[in-house]
Amino acid sequence: MGGYLDGVLLDQVSKRYGRGPWVLRDLTLEVTGTVVLTGANGTGKSTLLKIAAGVLKPSSGRVVRPASVGYVPERFPSDVKMSASSYLAHMGRVRGAGANDVLERLGFVGSLSAPMSELSKGNAQKVALAQAFLATDLLVFDEPWTGLDPEAAAELCVMLEGRTALVSDHEGHLESATRVDLAGGHVTIELSRVVGLDALEALEGVQSVLSRGSSARVVVAPDRSDQVLAEALRLGCSVRSVR
Ligand SMILES: Nc1ncnc2c1ncn2[C@@H]1O[C@H](COP(=O)(O)OP(=O)(O)OP(=O)(O)O)[C@@H](O)[C@H]1O
C-alpha cells in the first residue's frame, strides 16, 4: 500500500450506477505528477474523478489515496448561503492550513462577505479552487477552467505546475501533461519475470505500471499494445495475459 502518499492509485476500478450500464470497467491508473483526463461527454470522467477524490465509492476495485485531497467538482454548489470568507476560514481550519493567496492570484473580485449563492460563476469557481488548493497532497479537479477569465485560466495552469493532480480538461489547457483518454479504452497486460520496468514505463502509450515483486500490470492505450507487448518480450518478460 505504500508508495502512493502523494498520488492516487486506482486498481481495477469498476463503476455502475444502480443496475445501469458499466461506466468504468477494470480501470487501473496511477497518478503521480499531473495527469489530464480526456474523453467525450458521458465517458465517465466525472465519475472517475469523484472516485479518485473519495466522494463516490467504486462498485469494485481498490483506491489508494493520500490524506489531504483537494477536490473541485464539475459544478460548485450554487445555493450556498455561507459567505466566501466564512467558508474558506472553515475549510482552512479543517485542513489545518492558514489563509492562502489563491483568490488573489486568480483575481477574485466578488464580495467575500455576501452569500456565495450571489457570486458570479467565475468568482464562485475561484472560491472552489481556493478551498481545494488548501490540500497538500493530491488535487482532483473536474473542468476547473469553467467560468474563469483568460488571466485566471493561465494562472491556474501555473499553479498546477509541480503538483500531483488528476484534472479533466476538455480544452487542452495543460498541453504537456500526461493524458489518459477514457474514450479510447485500454489494454491490460499482465507480466511476470519483469525486467526493465523503467524502460516499460517510458514506452509511448503506457498509461500506468503497477509492479508487485517480479510481476507487473501494464495498462496501455489500445493502439500501442502490440508495440508494448513486443518490447516486453524483447526485454525478457513473460506475458501472462492480455485483455
Ligand atoms: N448519479 C448518477 N446516476 C446515474 N447515472 C449517472 C450518474 N452520474 C453519471 N451517470 C452516468 O454515468 C455516465 C458517465 O457520466 P460522467 O458524468 O461521469 O461522464 P463525463 O465524461 O464526466 O461527462 P461530461 O463530459 O458530459 O461531463 C453517463 O452515462 C451518466 O449518465
| Cβ atoms within 10 Å of 155's Cβ, excluding its own | 17
With bands split at pLDDT 50, 70 and 90, how would you rate the model's confidence at 6? low
**Does residue 105 lie in a domain region?**
no
Structurally, how many domains does the chain consist of?
1
CA atoms of 215 and 194, how far apart (whole Å): 6
Which residue has 488573489 as its cell numbers?
Answer: 104
Sheet holding 22-31, edge to edge: 22-31, 8-16, 60-64
Pocket of ligand 1 (CB under 6 A): 17, 20, 23, 39, 41-47, 74
**What is each CA distance from 223 to 60, 72, 219, 231, 237, in whole angstroms?**
27, 32, 12, 14, 21
With bands split at pLDDT 50, 70 and 90, how would you rate the model's confidence at 1? very low
**Does residue 9 lie in a domain region?**
no
DSSP E strands: which ranges in 2-99? 8-16, 22-31, 34-38, 60-64, 69-72
**Where are the alpha helices (H) located in 43-101, listed in sequence order?**
45-53, 84-95
- 45 Cα–ligand 1 center, Å: 8
What does the pLDDT look like over 158-198, one tens digit per residue?
999 999 999 999 888 998 888 888 876 678 889 999 988 88
**Does residue 99 lie in a domain region?**
no
pLDDT at 2: 41
Sign of the alpha-carbon torsion through 191, 195, 198, 200:
negative
- 62 Cα–ligand 1 center, Å: 20
**Does residue 205 lie in a domain region?**
yes
pLDDT at 167: 97
Assess whether pLDDT exceeds 70 at residue 98: no
- 237 Cα–ligand 1 center, Å: 38
| Cβ within 8 Å of residue 225, ≥6 positions away | 187, 189, 205, 242
* For helices 121-132 and 150-160, angle between their N-to-C axes, nearest 10 degrees: 10
For 204, the 3-state DSSP assignment is coil
**Does residue 28 lie in a domain region?**
no
CATH number for the domain including 202? 3.30.70.100
What does the pLDDT look like over 107-135, one tens digit per residue?
999 899 999 999 999 999 999 999 999 99
Range of the domain at 210: 187-242
**What is each CA distance from 37 to 151, 169, 194, 199, in whole angstroms?**
23, 6, 28, 24
**Does residue 216 lie in a domain region?**
yes
Assess whether pLDDT exceeds 70 at residue 207: yes
Atom of ligand 1 at shortest range from CA of 40 = 25
**Does residue 206 lie in a domain region?**
yes
CA atoms of 203 and 235, how far apart (whole Å): 12
pLDDT at 4: 47
What does the pLDDT look like over 37-89, one tens digit per residue?
998 888 899 999 999 999 999 999 999 999 899 999 998 887 889 999 999 99
For residue 5, give the H/E element and its range. Answer: none
pLDDT at 86: 92
**Does residue 143 lie in a domain region?**
no
